[in-house]
Amino acid sequence: MPTQIKMPALSPTMEEGTLAKWLVKVGDTVGAGDIMAEIETDKATMEFEAVDEGTVAEIVIPEGSENVKVGEVIMILAEEGEDLDAAKGAGAVAPAHEETVVPAKAGTSAESAPPAPTPREAPASAGATSGDRIIASPLAKRIAEQKGIDLAGVKGSGPNGRIVKADVEGATASAAPKTQAAAAPGPAKPATLGGDLDAPYEALKLNNVRKVIARRLTEAKQTIPHIYLTVDVRLDALLKLRSQLNASLEADGVKLSVNDLLIKALARALQRVPKCNVSFQGDELFEYSRQDISVAVAAPSGLITPIIRDAGRKGLAQISTEMKELAGKAKDGKLQPHEFQGGTASLSNLGMFGTKQFDAVINPPQAMILAVGAGEQRPWVEDGQIVPATVMSATGSFDHRAIDGADGAQLMEALKQLCENPMGLVV
């Protein structure tokens, strides 16, 4: 009897996804644990493993299809010895899905392309192009953007000449035409909104991650009463300790960043002030016994927060190693759900961009997030004398339903003490 394979829910917030790439074809035999497809969720691009055994009888939803609802039939598997043609009828008629088409214009974002009017079927093409359009999967577009590759110079090996992940990974930045301006069509007539908003603009389609970010942060600002508390932290002792530790860890291939030390400092501060390691849950307050620190990372698809779990108990070298691995996965879109779901508090560091101070939006259901600015030389009063010092401004955003101002102030004071007397981070 044929088995219907349905679009899985690969994260708790996933309602629909993009079927980025099929890794099997009709006639292939699959077993439990085999990777069948790459699916782009609201957080990352993830591999989809087979649970059932059988032979692929029909690919119901073609790769590159967007907005595929969770639970929708995407493939039909036939049992051993079953006729493949007969098994095809087991798949319910799937709703149409729009192809993603990228205009072959210099300076035009892949996300801005309007969908082709023909559902579920890529326009016929000898290569990757059709007229002035380029047919590419969403995953291939993202990789091309990361590597600086112009898809106009890439030949597609997918169905009907579609450019897929393997095509882009095998290409180099030299695939971009040297004289894009000469090859580009004339400028498009700018769209306008009418009234005073008459500046030309480009409509960029939101990816799944950006949609989730927009929804969650809007809910956070509308439903969570934020309170902001800022302290100035002298970093000279912490920077000196970091230099000493890196010298001793060099042989192990570990290099601590300031952010690694701040992750540990926030976790230790939460240990000292457990009233801030909480979340508001309606008529209950959850107080956590472990410090799981979500760290904001800028990925190509949007902001994501991989988690250093139990950071209060981990050494600095382990935190540094885990953070580098998680950040790399985040930028490649390869984080697994358990690596970014959860967390009891968050850390967002914009110091590397020169930002002096900012207020971060709480990531629900967490009740606090620490926003860290750049360390810079400022005048500092020490024993009645003004001396130069490296100073950082740190701002805590707290859910006032769960955390009182006095408790938040104690946390910020604990953070300040740990950073200014950093031996507490290594014992």
Q: Residues with catalytic annotation?
A: 400
Question: Is 59 in a helix, a strand, or coil?
Answer: strand
CB 304 within 8 A of CB 335: yes
What separation in angstroms does the CA of 413 have from each of 133, 225, 274, 416? 57, 22, 14, 5
What is the number of other CB atoms lying within 10 angstroms of the CB of residue 27? 10
For 352-390, give the DSSP string: GGT-----PPP-TT-SEEEEE---EEEEEEETTEEEEEE
C-alpha angle 26/27/28, rounded to 5°? Answer: 95
Question: Is 302 in a helix, a strand, or coil?
Answer: strand
Q: How far is it, in rounded angstroms, from Cα 69 to Cα 284?
A: 33
Half-sphere exposure of 155 (CA within 13 A, CB side): 3
Q: How far is it, in rounded angstroms, from Cα 372 to Cα 392?
A: 7
Residue with tokens 């507490």: 424
Bridge partners for 55 per DSSP: 29, 78
Structure tokens at 366: 């967490």
Q: How far is it, in rounded angstroms, from Cα 273 to Cα 270?
A: 5
Q: Reduced to 3 DSSP states, what percent helix, strand and coil does the chain have, rounded to the nearest 5? A: 30, 25, 40
Structure tokens at 64: 């590159």
